[in-house]
Every structure is written in structure tokens, then in C-alpha cells.
Amino acid sequence: MEEYIEHKVKNKAEKYIKKIVKVIFYIIAGIAFLLLFAYIFMYLWNWLMPEIFGLTILTYWQAAGLLILSKIIFGSFSEGGGRKKKHKKGQSKRPFNTKRRGICGDDFSKWKHYDAFWKDEGEKAYDKYVEEKRNEKNESSS
């Protein structure tokens, strides 16, 4: 029984050590990625910006600071940016869901008549507009 308890305690300790090593690895990898990304950013900036926009060149630490500042202002470097928002079940992820619901809601069947409407009404309105412009031109030239 004592061997079983020792084995269980040993396994728990190994799991915690593995987790700590993973956390340390991810921290080091993140720092290395930031350093490499800052170098690439500096290289691209110094290659493009002075010629295109007449801006000054950046040092490595200025590039790293600019990257950190952009992260603070604009959010994450990953796709989608910023903080992840959790949506409640049944709540739409569309940004204009509540504002636009009154206009057309989720019923897009109304739009199937749009082309026919535009062909009839839009062409008539455009022909009328062109005719008015011609009349204005004729009146001004006379």
C-alpha cells in the first residue's frame, strides 16, 4: 500500500514538473518569437518606409517598442485581433444584429424582387435624369 501511495505522489509531482517546464518553455518561445518578429519588422520598415514615405529608419529596440505599442492599441497579433468575446447561446455573432433587425431582419426573401424593381424603376429614373441633363445642356448652350 505504501508503494502505491509513493507511486501516486511521484506521478503527481512529475505532472506538476512537466506543467512548469511547459510554461517556462512557452514563455521562452514567446520572447524568442517577439525578438525575431521585431527584427523582421525592423528589416521590412527600413527597406520600405524610407523610400516610399521618406520616414527615418528604425533601430531594433524602436521596432520592438512599436510592435508592443501596436499590440496594446490594436490587440492581438493573431487573426481576429483583440479580446475574444464569448457569445451566449442563441445570440448572433453578427455585429449589426440588433440595429439592422428592423430594416430587413433575417428575412432575405424580400431581396429576391430587388433586381426586377431596379430594372423597372431604376432605369426609368436614370432615363429621366439623363433627359434632364440634356435639357439643361441644351438650355445653357442656347
pLDDT of residue 85: 55
pLDDT of residue 102: 53
Tell me the whole-structure pTM to 2 decimals.
0.42
Tens place of pLDDT for every residue, the chain, 142 residues? Answer: 666 666 667 788 888 999 999 999 999 999 999 889 899 999 999 999 888 888 899 999 999 888 888 888 988 655 554 455 555 555 555 555 555 555 555 566 667 777 777 778 888 888 888 899 899 888 887 6
pLDDT of residue 91: 57
Instruction: Report DSSP letters for 69-117, one per residue.
Output: HHHHHH--SSTT-SPPPPPPTT----TTHHHHTTTTTT-GGGGGGHHHH
Torsion angle of the four alpha carbons 92, 98, 103, 109, in this order, in degrees rounded to the nearest 10? 10
